[in-house]
Chain A
Amino acid sequence: GAGVSQSPRYKVAKRGQDVALRCDPISGHVSLFWYQQALGQGPEFLTYFQNEAQLDKSGLPSDRFFAERPEGSVSTLKIQRTQQEDSAVYLCASSLLSVGQGLYGYTFGSGTRLTVV
């Protein structure tokens, strides 16, 4: 597609429920990033994929968070046993290159707003 697509746009989950958030990056983009943006804050890095390889997951806040990109295109961020502090906008971004992404920056999706009640 022309841009990064995320679904669903909005998700309300009951505390303790598992959720799965999907990201469709721009076709051919090698790098894929997930960020978490709490209300009134800047995006916080969660994890990074280069093709199907998860090269950095240092930002995942707990072992309840899991991300995958099995075929090097679509990615899914899964949150198990959701808690209220997980409420945030989850942003996905992709980049054409595997190195020097800074030269181009990223292209961001519109995000998924997760509300845990």
Chain B
Amino acid sequence: AQSVTQLGSHVSVSEGALVLLRCNYSSSVPPYLFWYVQYPNQGLQLLLKYTSAATLVKGINGFEAEFKKSETSFHLTKPSAHMSDAAEYFCAVSDQDSSASKIIFGSGTRLSIRP
């Protein structure tokens, strides 16, 4: 069974500081990995995805994530936080091999930005 673990339910950083949101995955087969962002009262928006083409993945809004198989990690980073980055972030995994692979989400990390 696949799963993701997000370390830290709440992360607070100052505006302009580095953002690091941690995600570790568990999968017995090659995974697809995703980061989604959710703003209040909205659905989930895809930030970026890893599909085995490149281990460093760049997404929207200046975010990027690096797939590290040896560490089973897919941490999300952004060099300089903006106030508009405050939201809930979800790491997710799905199975590359299945023809009907559902996406499994982590429990989320709420990112707060201090002025």
Contact = CB atoms under 8 A, between A and B. Distances in A.
Interface residues of A, number: 29
Contacts of B102: 33, 45, 48, 56
B54 to A, nearest CB: 14
Contact of B100 (A48, A109, A113): A48
Q: Most B CB atoms within 10 A — which of A93, A106, A109? A: A106
Contacts of B101: 100-102
A4 B2 CA distance: 26
Given A45-B102, A101-B94, A109 B43 contact: yes
A7 interface: no
A62 interface: no
Contact of B90 (A33, A42, A45, A103): A42
A80 interface: no
A102 B43 contact: no
A83 interface: no
Contacts of A105: 34, 36, 46, 49, 103
A40 B6 CA distance: 13
Interface string B75-115: 00000000000000010001110011111111110000000
Nearest to A9: B41
Given A101-B94, A102-B32, A108-B45, A45 B104 contact: yes
Contacts of A55: 100
Nearest to A47: B102
The 6 nearest A-B residue pairs measured at CB: A102-B32, A108-B43, A42-B105, A108-B44, A102-B94, A99-B99
